[in-house]
A and B are shown apart, each in its own frame.
Chain A
Amino acid sequence: METTIDRLKRIVASVVAVDDTSFEPSASLVEAFNADSLEILEISMGVEDEFAIEVPPDDMSNFTTVGDLVNYIESRVAKIPK
């Protein structure tokens, strides 16, 4: 079963260039992958589709590092009623 970070990597790699070694929790979307604002937005929309969650604009501050984003996704997914 794919982990959250694996699924996230697939989304991020569909938007910006990612290699296996660089996709680690401390990697910053902006600094490590040079994601611009539109690419961050695309990643956000990809996260919404992949994890069936809504990412409100005010939550975009979680889109800093891979680790922050994984934590954010997992906390949001955990709140989805089973």
Chain B
Amino acid sequence: MSRKPAPPGHYTATEAAEKLGISVPMLYNHVRSGNLQRIVPKGRKQGFFLQSEVEKLRIELYSFLETGQIQEVEVEPEKEVYHFLPTTKREDLVECAAIAKEVYGSEGTPVDTRLAWMEKNPEILYVVKSDHNVGGYVYILPLQRETIDAILRDERSLASLTQDEIQSFTPEEPIDIYLMSVATRPELARQEKRILSAQVLAGLMNVLRDLAQRGVVIRSLIARSRLPDGIRLLNGMEFDHYPIEIPDKRFSYFIIELDKSNAKFIQRYKQTLRRTQEG
């Protein structure tokens, strides 16, 4: 579900925050304080704000000095608290799809397909989430190595993956993981965005360590990206170039073969796995 323009006489959260000269989290503080009403039209998830109410609040927040300069009335910002957690909730998947659309230009695989995957393996989507929204997410897909390669070669689409092709996290057989998508809300302020991204990555490291504690053997982590930020991130995580034969390379392709990797987070995974296997 994509973010739609506000109905007549209303603003979206981003527009209302811009009008007030404040951040979106600060806008929600005003909602919590009862200064502003968030209106959710029937059948929609996205909330809107009456333009007249926003204007009223703007006048309350700002006072004009004799010099004509605008002075903002101090309002103590309340920090938005985000938690990293796994989810299979439809509404979270819908929010992630909206973030994907803003970041990648497409919502990607339909939500219903992803929900079907989660019936087989409910541990493939992790979000950082506050009381009000999903701030970022990471999808990890355990798949057969040849399936991942077929996706990278565009011989298969992600949307064509069936529930049966999603692997389970069990100690029985080594698995390959396709790091399908990592993103944070692009409209966040720089500091908040970077800290949320770090929270997503730290969460991902914890997920790997948790899998190690359960004796799940990960053979490889594989990813691709065409965005400079994504490529920088994967290089920074010490992914290697994946030398896969692909005729039309629109992406950069990355792999970590865990038995060869010295990346710090992989070392931690391997230490934990060793301890688990030694009992």
Q: Could you say which of A35, A61, A63 contacts B82, with CB atoms under 8 Å apart?
A: A61
Do A60 and B195 form a contact, CB below 8 Å, given A37-B233, A38-B201, A44-B202? Answer: yes
0/1 string, A39-50, CB within 8 A of B gives 1: 011101100000
Q: Measured between alpha carbons, how far is A60 from B236 in the docked complex, in Å?
A: 19
Residues of B close to A28: CB separation below 8 A: 191
Q: Which residues of B contact A37 (CB under 8 A)?
A: 193-198, 200-201, 233
Which of A35, A57, A63 is close to B203, meaning CB atoms less than 8 Å apart? Answer: A57
Q: Are A60 and B237 in contact (CB under 8 A)?
A: no
Q: Tell me the interface secondary structure of chain A in the complex.
A: helix
Q: How far is the CB of A65 from chain B (nearest CB, A)?
A: 10
Number of A-B contacts (CB under 8 A): 65
Contacts of A40 in B (CB 8 A): 194-195, 198
Distance between Cα atoms of A64 and B79 in the complex (Å): 12
Are B84 and A57 in touch, CB under 8 angstroms? yes
User: Please, how many residues of chain B have a CB less than 8 angstroms from a CB on the other chain?
Assistant: 27
Q: Is B81 interfacial (CB-CB < 8 Å)?
A: yes
Q: Report the minimal beta-carbon distance from A41 to chain B, rounded to whole angstroms.
A: 5
B264 touches A45 (CB 8 A): yes
Is A81 interfacial (CB-CB < 8 Å)? no
Q: Which of A2-17 contact B (CB under 8 A)?
A: none
Let me know if A30 is at the binding interface, CB within 8 A.
Answer: yes
Chain B residues proximal to chain A, CB less than 8 Å: 79, 81-84, 128, 190-191, 193-203, 205-206, 232-233, 236-237, 264-265
Given contacts A30-B195, A36-B232, A61-B195, 6 further A-B contacts (CB under 8 A): A31-B191, A38-B237, A41-B198, A41-B201, A55-B202, A60-B195
